[in-house]
């Protein structure tokens, strides 16, 4: 099973093709593929882990509680979500059904790898100036497997370029990671404001990297 990513179809073509993806087994219990969302002109891309329960039902990334927190943090950092592209490392909701709720289960490395061609295709089309990883799953996939989110967050790192891109004089772009909005929601109440402020501070750094 591999993701069958078409060439030359633009973002909406990718979105359509991903809706039928059978690159791993997660498609079957999920409601639908949750592809990235935002304008093709976005200069900043946010990459989360995987859709949650509400995203799975609505077919849009970051529209549940974590998305509302992200929206607030973006606004506090002076970033308009409408100017951004938001996506996930894995595009199906992985969950364990229980009588009351579908419980989030973290994606495995095999799911992240199977979905990677979609993320790479999104990033290649968008060619953003900065990619912000929300949480460890995205950071380990896009920055380094050893990335430690609490230690290494908030740092602007150059996005690796191919020799062809360097030869063609492609402008340097940046990577950064910050805490996942769901991690803020899970933080004990007495520490939550501090964790939230750290995310806003990181997002301000990201905004300042936009040329
Ligand atoms: N968490 C994520 O990582 N992505 C979403 O889209 C929603 C919650």
What is the residue-wise DSSP string for 84-144? EEEEESS-S--EEE-SS-EEE-PPPHHHHHHHHHHHHHHHHHH--SEEEEESHHHHHHHT-
How far does the centroid of ligand 1 lie from the alpha carbon of residue 130, in Å? 19
- Its pTM stands at 0.97
**Per-chain mean pLDDT for the chain:** 96
Q: Is the CB of 182 under 6 A from ligand 1?
A: yes
> pLDDT-based confidence at 211, cuts 50/70/90?
low
Q: Is the CB of 107 under 6 A from ligand 1?
A: no
Measured from the Cα of 62, ligand 1's closest atom is 6
Q: Say if strands 102-104 and 130-134 run parallel, antiparallel, or are unpaired.
A: unpaired
Mean pLDDT of 149-171: 93
What are the tens digits of pLDDT across the range 52-78?
999 999 999 999 999 999 999 999 999
How far does the centroid of ligand 1 lie from the alpha carbon of residue 33, in Å? 13
Q: Is the CB of 137 under 6 A from ligand 1?
A: no
CATH architecture of the region 10-210: 3-Layer(aba) Sandwich (3.40)
């Amino acid at each position: 099973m591999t993701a069958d990513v078409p060439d030359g179809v633009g973002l909406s073509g990718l979105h359509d093709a991903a809706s039928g993806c059978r690159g791993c087994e997660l498609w079957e219990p999920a409601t639908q593929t949750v592809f990235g969302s935002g304008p093709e002109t976005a200069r900043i891309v946010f990459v989360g882990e995987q859709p949650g329960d509400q995203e799975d039902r609505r077919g849009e990334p970051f529209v549940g509680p974590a998305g509302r927190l992200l929206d607030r943090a973006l606004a506090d950092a002076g970033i308009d979500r409408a100017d951004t592209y938001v996506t996930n490392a894995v595009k199906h909701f992985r969950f364990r059904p229980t009588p009351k709720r579908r419980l989030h289960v973290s994606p495995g490395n095999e799911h992240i790898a199977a979905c990677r061609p979609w993320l790479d295709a999104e990033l290649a089309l968008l060619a953003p100036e900065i990619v912000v990883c929300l949480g460890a799953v995205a950071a380990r996939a896009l920055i380094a497997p050893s990335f430690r989110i609490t230690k290494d967050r908030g740092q602007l790192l150059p996005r690796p370029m191919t020799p062809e891109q360097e030869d063609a004089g492609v402008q340097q772009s940046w990577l950064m990671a910050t805490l996942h909005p769901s991690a803020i929601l899970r933080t004990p109440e007495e520490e939550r404001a501090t964790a939230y402020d750290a995310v806003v501070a990181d997002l301000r750094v990201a905004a300042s990297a936009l040329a």
